[in-house]
Structure 1
Amino acid sequence: YVTHDQVEAMTMADRMIVMNAGRAEQIGTPLDVYERPATLFAAQFIGSPSMNVLEVEGREGALSVGDMRLPNPTGHSGPVMLGLRPEHLTPDPQGPIAMQVQLAEPLGANTLLHGKLPTGQGFTASLPGVHAVSHGGEALRLGIKPANMHLFDRATGMRLG
């Protein structure tokens, strides 16, 4: 069965193949592909809203992007791509991720917050419940568990660690 509808694929499939330009990027159960994407393409294809992807630098046991320092779950040093699923982010006043919220989409069970990081890059968080934003540009700090961070090689797009 072939589909471009990821929700359909996630709910109907026992196993799935994520294809990219005629080649299999990843083969596995839907949850395997979602929880441990083998490539950056597979990571960005599965999940709604899409995974946030940041160019970061691994050094001194941390991942740096602009002035933000995040935990480094693999200890990899050098330039890498970091994937963060919007639904894995949590409000945390001491969190390492600083976001300026520009738009809130209340969806009932959760709220999508769209904004920018201090680097100017767009960023999305999906938080449970209703989160009102009083005005554009509201500051929000977010945390993420290292187990929910995905690192990919910047040149090949392959998963690291």
Structure 2
Amino acid sequence: MDETLLAGSTIWLFGRVMKDITLDGKKTPAKPDGQLAGALKQAEAKFARIYSFAFEGNLITLAKPAIFLVHGDGDKIEDKTLAGIGLAITAANFAQDFKIWQYERDDITLRLDPTSGTFGRVLIQQEVGKESLQDYVRGGADVGTPTSLGAARRPRSRLFRSDDE
């Protein structure tokens, strides 16, 4: 692999193509095409679960695997490719069925972070917050109070005031 001036902006994704999610590529007539819509409509557009990525000679493992829009089935991970990226590891460090995709830092993509659990946990608690959920369940003072459509207001903290002031 040749070293080039642009190598510093290259990102390498490591993961597997997802077989249970497909894109149909249909055009949505109500909205004009943008970069993301164009990327989604490409014939080779797929979703892959990505576990790690390489950037500027560093291999970074994602804290939690995420689903990314990729193009094509990915390439087989080979020692020659890893050495060209500047990684001091071998293909044996990856699962045999892992693939690799190459993108530029400014390429457009779509990231999906799947979360599973009960509706109470992944919807209500996530959006309302644990304290507000407890008030709701217990019938706290703010239950039934009309709210604005904007962001939830946070109570202001009290400032300490000494008797000397």
TM band (smaller chain): under 0.3
Give the alignment's TM-score, normalised by structure 1.
0.24
Q: Write 1 or 2 for the structure with the bigger share of strand.
A: 1
Give the alignment's TM-score, normalised by structure 2.
0.23
Instruction: Identify which of structures 1 and 2 has the higher relative contact order when contacts are C-alpha pairs closer than 8 Å and 6+ apart.
Output: 2
